[in-house]
Amino acid sequence: METITHPKVIFSGTTLIGKPVEKLTRTIGDLKGLFADQNAFEEQDTNQIAYEVESYFPVPEGTEGGLFFGITHIQPGTIGNEYMMTKGHSHVFENRAEFYWCIEGEGMMLFMDKDRNVWAEKMFPGSLHYIQGLTAHRVANTGESVLSFGACWPSDASHNYDLIAKNGFSKRLLKVNGEPQLV
Ligand code: M6P
Ligand code: ZN
């Protein structure tokens, strides 16, 4: 076995490159039910890309003690007066934490705890966001360009989308007079 090898995955600064990298595309159609303004949603091209995720899963999903790594690129824009956003999730293994950090663009990181308290942190290149356990999380692109952010999470966390799909966040991030507001 060679003792000095080339890394399997390269982070170019904005994207992940390498054979093990897996890509996931979410279209606007995949975000059905997320946006308040149904009429505005119906007018969208459902095949248009909302966001893309590049992931590196060095161990099988569910492995205790392992880590996953992902870069997400969210397109800019609004549907009604809501910004383009990720589906948002909590973790199946609820106490599992995660880091997000902003690479480029500008956005807002939304958190919601078990009591449905919602708060947000501004995202800008270099901003670092710790998502403690038991906290649902979502990102909205509030800028005019693509928002890219990194994520690192435990390989046994797994995604729980059901809660958010059913009850949503208790506050929405709306564009009010051109500015993001939690309403
Ligand atoms: C980050 C990580 C991933 C997640 C992705 C998109 O990269 O948290 O686990 O899948 O964002 O977010 P969502 O799954 O909520 O659509
Ligand atoms: Zn997560």
Residue 2 confidence (pLDDT):
80
Encode pLDDT of 74-93 as tens digits. Answer: 999 999 999 999 999 999 99
Atom of ligand 1 nearest to the CA of 89: 15
Give me the domains of the chain, ranges plus CATH numbers: 10-182 (2.60.120.10)
Atom of ligand 1 nearest to the CA of 72: 7
Q: Give mean pLDDT, residues 55-68.
A: 98
Mean of the per-residue pLDDT values for the chain? 97
Which of 27, 32, 72, 112 has the most ligand 1 atoms within 8 A of CB, as the residue to mutate? 72
Atom of ligand 1 nearest to the CA of 24: 10
Q: What is the DSSP string of 27-43?
A: EGGGGTTSSS-HHHHHT
| Cα(112)–Cα(80) distance, integer angstroms | 23
Q: pTM of the prediction?
A: 0.97
| Cα(83)–Cα(109) distance, integer angstroms | 12
Encode pLDDT of 26-42 as tens digits. Answer: 999 999 999 999 999 99
